[in-house]
Chains A and B, each alone.
Chain A
Amino acid sequence: GQNIDQPTEMTATEGAIVQINCTYQTSGFNGLFWYQQHAGEAPTFLSYNVLDGLEEKGRFSSFLSRSKGYSYLLLKELQMKDSASYLCAVRDSNYQLIWGAGTKLIIKP
């Protein structure tokens, strides 16, 4: 079967750095996405990785290792508004997105 694993919940301090991990086992791989979802709202796109390595976008970076079936999302200089769920999704060999259950990130002052 296909599986995406993420921690259920993480807590971090405002101004700090947090790394959210995602491991996957899918039938094929055609890219990995990270989305942010605030409570009661729609998911919004953060990043996309299809090749190994680090993609940086401002305070957010995403890393991919295809051989290890592993990705992480790195959030720097945390702000209170970063409190949200972070969803990892992998596009499989049929180009369908397989979604993790999401990681709820709680930011404390």
Chain B
Amino acid sequence: NAGVTQTPKFQVLKTGQSMTLQCAQDMNHEYMSWYRQDPGMGLRLIHYSVGAGITDQGEVPNGYNVSRSTTEDFPLRLLSAAPSQTSVYFCASSYNEQGQPQHFGDGTRLSIL
């Protein structure tokens, strides 16, 4: 029972670099999402997907891209890293978007220098 797996757990980038945060779930969940968590603020939704081939923007999508080619995987791409993107990133999944609790990965702690 792996649940939601995120890699890497920690990453340091330089401004302008790009990278992909990986997220995979083995629960056959249709709904997947990416959040960022910053001190003193609630989790903020970056992008989400209601199923393979379908993605949509959340509250703070600028500077990030996603794709959902399979039910299991939902990678998050930082196009050109900026210090403002220093944060803890969580991937979450649920059976659907209606009334089901989300299962979270362990998070990726990302620092942009």
Contacts and interface: CB of A to CB of B under 8 A. Distances in A.
Contacts of B58: 96
A99 B44 contact: yes
A101 B90 contact: no
Contacts of A50: 99
Interface of B: 35, 40-45, 48, 58, 90, 97-99, 101-107
Interface of A: 4, 8, 30-31, 33, 41-45, 48, 50, 87, 89, 91, 95-102
Contacts of A101: 40-42
A101 B48 CA distance: 20
A36 to B, nearest CB: 11
Contact of B104 (A4, A8, A43, A91): A43
